[in-house]
Each structure stands twice: as C-alpha cells, then as structure tokens.
Structure 1
Amino acid sequence: MTHFVTSIPAPHVDLIAEDGQKVPLSDLYAQRPLLLQFSRHLGCVFCIDHAKQLLKHYETFTRHHLDVALVIMGGAEEAKTFREALKLTFPVFGDPDQSVYKAFDVPRGNVWQVAGPQLWWDGLKALTRSGIGRPRGDLMQLSGTYLIDTNGQIVWDFRPSSSVEFPNIDEILVAADTLTPIADA
C-alpha cells in the first residue's frame, strides 16, 4: 500500500556500514532526500530483483535529487557481499538485530503473504531475471520503502501486503518531485 505521510519524523537510529562503523541515519538525508529501501531476508528472490531495479533506475533517482540506501538483515560483511554481488552503486547497510526495521515499523507477513501460491508465478519470473540466494534472516519479514526529506520527515512510504510487492518507480519519482524546495536545499 502506498501513501503519503505528513510530518512524521524519521526514527533516530544507526545503521551498520560495510566497514562495521555505525552510521546515523540522519547523516544519509542531511544533504539530499533519501529513498530508504528495507530488504526482506538475504536470498529473497524478489528483493534481489528489486535491488537490481533500483540500480537500473539509480541515475533517474539522482536526477530527481534522491540518494538511495538499502538496508539488509545482516552485518557489515553481508552488506558488503550483497552490494558487491549485485554491483550496486548505492550503499547497503546492515541491521543484524532488525532494530531499525522495528523502529520504522516495517511490516512482517504470514506464510500466505511471503510464500503463498499466488506469489509463485511472480517468484519464477523474478528468479529467471535475477537468480536466488540462500535464505538467511527473518523469512517472515516483508520489505518497506521510505522517502525521507532533508528535514528528517518521512514524506512517503510503501508497506507491502506480500513479499512480491514493491513500489512503482514512477510513484517514487512523483513523491520525490513533490518535496518542497526547503527539503531539497
């Protein structure tokens, strides 16, 4: 489900960078609005495919004054391995205890939402496009997408109802383009 939010402050949390250092989330949106994508478990075929889609559209995001960051359920080494394996040009951060997922209230699913038969066809298509990894982490965790302006406000989010759902790239760009000049400063 996609919706705009008004003046909801982003949580004050730290992410784990590839070098193992803690990075305050606020550092990531200090200069430009941030598209913050939470991945499902490591190995999720849909998330691998979506990360590749974010990469494919990364230059478009930057033209729309957005930075992009991906959060995974792993530590520094897993973040580095994930970024390198997919040749991502945007940063990947770890959240091994899922405390940042919880702070953002990223939804969790049930068996039907993460592996039900209605997802199999989309899963096969994603597998064909992007391959699969070994499942690691909370298999019931869904993804989440958040747009944070430079004032630290969550101005748009997408919380899926199943593991196959991700926001349309155009919806993200429309949301980014509605940010006020103050937020883009």
Structure 2
Amino acid sequence: METQAKVGDRVTGITLRSIDDEPIELDALLTRPTVIVMVRYYGCMPCQAYLKEMSEHLDDFTDAGADVIGVGGAADYQARHLIENGVRFPLLLDPDLTLYKALDITRIHWWMMLSPETWWRYAKAALKARQGKITGHPLQAPGLAILGADGTITLLHRGHTLGHYPPVKDVLAAVKKH
C-alpha cells in the first residue's frame, strides 16, 4: 500500500518543461526554499488570480529567502499569456503530472463543482482573471508545496476544491519560519 507524500519527505528526480518545451530538472531549480504553486491548469480563473496575487508578493518571498514557481499540466500558451500579463516568476509545465503524483495532488470529486465554496472562489477570481480553455482534466485539484534546497517538503497543501489555495500571508509566514 502506497503512502501519501508528507512534510519531511523528499521529492527528487522530477523533470518539468519550460513554456518553450525545454526539459528542466526540478532539482536544479531548488537552490533555496521554493514555493511551488500547482494550478489546475493555467486558464483556470481562481488559479490565475492566485498566481497574480503571489506575483504581487514576489519581492516579499525573495526577501524572505525563497523562490516561487508555478506548475501546470500543459498549455504553454496560457502560461505565456500570464507571464506577458504580469506574473513575474517562472511558469512550468508538467504534462505527465509527475510532480502532482509525487505530491499526491490528485483529482477532486465532481460534486465539488457544485459546492458554494467553489462558486465563491470563481466569483472572487472573476475580478482579477478571465476563464481560459480547459486544457487538462477539469477536476485536477490545485495545491501548493514549499520544498527545501534538497527537495524536502516543508509545507504541503492539497486543495479540496477548485481554487483552494492557502492564504498568501500564511505561505509567506511558513517560508519565514524555515
């Protein structure tokens, strides 16, 4: 029986893709603590809003000694659009969902699409983002992880509905704590 990834576990040997389809080894990116925002897909309104909010606080994360990256399943053109429109950190692709699987960020149940929490998150996101074409599985859960320079998980958040991310201030506090 497999166990779920948890704080203290190490994540290594993951290859992601740049928006130009170049392979990027996650291990090579981890030169210091790194916040990894795991989006459903880059066209998801709540995911876009969260990436923009993280980008607004990028200097705070940098000052606290951390890097920030975004990871999505596919759709390089959606990631490129976000970068062109103000997201200031790298947005990478994980078309095989290798990192998602390593962190056990799986799919949510279909009935969460009907949840008032889901609709509230979409309504709030509509102020900052516009829905893009669904390019991955519509029920892919979002998530967030902080990995140390050696790949050790220091924080792991698995979203239980669409757009469910931890508050940015809490993520920043977690970075400062480690």
TM-score bracket relative to the smaller structure = 0.7 to 0.9
CA distance in structure 2 between the partners assigned to 1:162 and 1:111 by the alignment: 10
CA distance in structure 1 between the partners assigned to 2:8 and 2:123 by the alignment: 39
CA distance in structure 2 between the partners assigned to 1:57 and 1:43 by the alignment: 21
Deviation at 1:142, TM superposition (A): 0.8
Deviation at 1:150, TM superposition (A): 1.2
Structure 1 length-normalised TM:
0.85
Contact 2:43 2:78 in 1 (8 A): no
| Gap runs ≥5 in structure 1 | 180-185
Task: Give the direction of change, closer, same or farther, for the CA distance of 1:76–1:123 in structure 2 (3 Å limit).
Answer: closer
Deviation at 1:135, TM superposition (A): 1.8
CA distance in structure 2 between the partners assigned to 1:6 and 1:126 by the alignment: 29
Percent identical across equivalent pairs? 26
Deviation at 1:38, TM superposition (A): 0.7
State the partner residue of 2:67. 67
Task: Give the direction of change, closer, same or farther, for the CA distance of 1:71–1:56 in structure 2 (3 Å limit).
Answer: same
Contact 2:42 2:79 in 1 (8 A): no
State the partner residue of 2:40. 40
CA distance in structure 2 between the partners assigned to 1:82 and 1:116 by the alignment: 27
Letter in 1 for 2:166: P
Structure 2 length-normalised TM:
0.88
Letter in 1 for 2:101: K
Classify the secondary structure of the residue corresponding to 1:147.
strand
| Gap runs ≥5 in structure 2 | 1-5
Q: Any residues of structure 2 matched to 1:28-107 within 5 Å, and which?
A: 28-30=29-31, 32-74=32-74, 76-84=76-84, 86-107=85-106
Task: Give the direction of change, closer, same or farther, for the CA distance of 1:135–1:176 in structure 2 (3 Å limit).
Answer: same
Classify the secondary structure of the residue corresponding to 1:11.
coil
1:147 aligned onto 2:140 = no
Contact 2:142 2:163 in 1 (8 A): no
Deviation at 1:7, TM superposition (A): 2.4
User: For the aligned residues, what is the CA RMSD?
Assistant: 1.8
Contact 1:75 1:95 in 2 (8 A): no
Paired positions, count: 173
CA distance in structure 2 between the partners assigned to 1:79 and 1:126 by the alignment: 17
